[in-house]
Amino acid sequence: MSIFSKDQTKKVVVNAENHGYKPATVTFKQGKPAQLKFISSNNMGCMNEVVFKELGIDEKLDGKKEVTIDIPTDKPATYNYACGMDMFHGKVVVK
Ligand SMILES: [Cu+2]
């Protein structure tokens, strides 16, 4: 791996109207710093909160255009996340 390897940044659009995350699955390469940006829209309802249980992350999106979450990439993993009521789901894959 190059010591000049770049950070990885990807975006997920939170679509409250269709109750979905786009894309629903985001993949990062192992071993490089990774950031996932959640882009929110209006009238978010319970989607104004994003919860990564395994990572102990619980972030409010409401009122912010963009919220950045640091994803650990030290090992291959799948991190599931959900809205504040655990109704809508997405995942982050590190491989
Ligand atoms: Cu919900």
- Tell me the per-residue pLDDT of 60-70, one tens digit each, with 9 for 90 and over: 987 788 999 99
Instruction: Tell how far the Cα of 16 is from the centroid of ligand 1, in angstroms.
Output: 9
Q: Answer whether residue 3 is part of any domain.
A: no
Instruction: Tell how far the Cα of 83 is from the centroid of ligand 1, in angstroms.
Output: 5
Q: Residue 65 sits in a domain of what CATH number?
A: 2.60.40.420
pLDDT score at 5: 59
Instruction: Tell how far the Cα of 85 is from the centroid of ligand 1, in angstroms.
Output: 4
Summarised one tens digit per residue, pLDDT across range 5-47 is 578 999 999 987 777 899 999 999 999 999 999 998 776 788 9
**Selection from 85, 92, 25, 17 nearest residue 51 by Cα:** 85
Q: Answer whether residue 70 is part of any domain.
A: yes
Q: Answer whether residue 55 is part of any domain.
A: yes
Cβ 26 vs Cβ 92: under 8 Å: yes
Instruction: Tell how far the Cα of 24 is from the centroid of ligand 1, in angstroms.
Output: 15
Q: Answer whether residue 2 is part of any domain.
A: no
Instruction: Tell how far the Cα of 32 is from the centroid of ligand 1, in angstroms.
Output: 31
Q: If pLDDT is split at 50, 70 and 90, which confidence band does 51 have?
A: very high
Beta bridge partners of 15: 20
Q: If pLDDT is split at 50, 70 and 90, which confidence band does 4 have?
A: low
